[in-house]
Amino acid sequence: MTRMSANADIGVTMRITTVDDVAGAVRLARKERGWTQAQLAAHAQVSRDLVNRLERGSGRVEVAKVLDVLAALSLATVIEPRRSPVDLVAVVRAHEVTA
């Protein structure tokens, strides 16, 4: 699942929960900078093949290399606990009972 919100640098903030989310975030940031995969690879000091595999959502990319690519794109990596989904129906019902 990807959650997006405003961000001045690349236009969106994404909550990453899947490999495909990482792929999409990298591809979006690269394209917003007007870079080719080869240019991103040069900035990150990785191979173009790695950038290609990362953007295709390959799960076979070293974490250190992913971090290199994210750093080259000036993307921050934040690790936080997952939030439990909110049961909106239960919240509304609880509010109706107390109101």
CB 16 within 8 A of CB 28: no
CB 16 within 8 A of CB 48: no
DSSP 14-71: EE--SHHHHHHHHHHHHHHTT--HHHHHHHHTS-HHHHHHHHTT-S-S-HHHHHHHHH
Contacts of residue 66, Cβ cutoff 8 Å, sequence gap at least 6 = 22, 54
Average pLDDT, the chain: 84
Q: Could you tell me the pTM of the whole model?
A: 0.71
Instruction: Place 16 in a pLDDT band, splitting at 50, 70 and 90.
Output: confident
Percent over 70 (pLDDT), the chain? 85
Domains and their CATH numbers in the chain: 3-98 (1.10.260.40)
pLDDT given at position 6 = 37
Position with higher pLDDT, 31 vs 90:
31
How far is 30 from 82, CA to CA, in rounded Å?
Answer: 27
Which of 16-30, 47-61, 82-96 shows the lowest mean pLDDT across its residues? 82-96
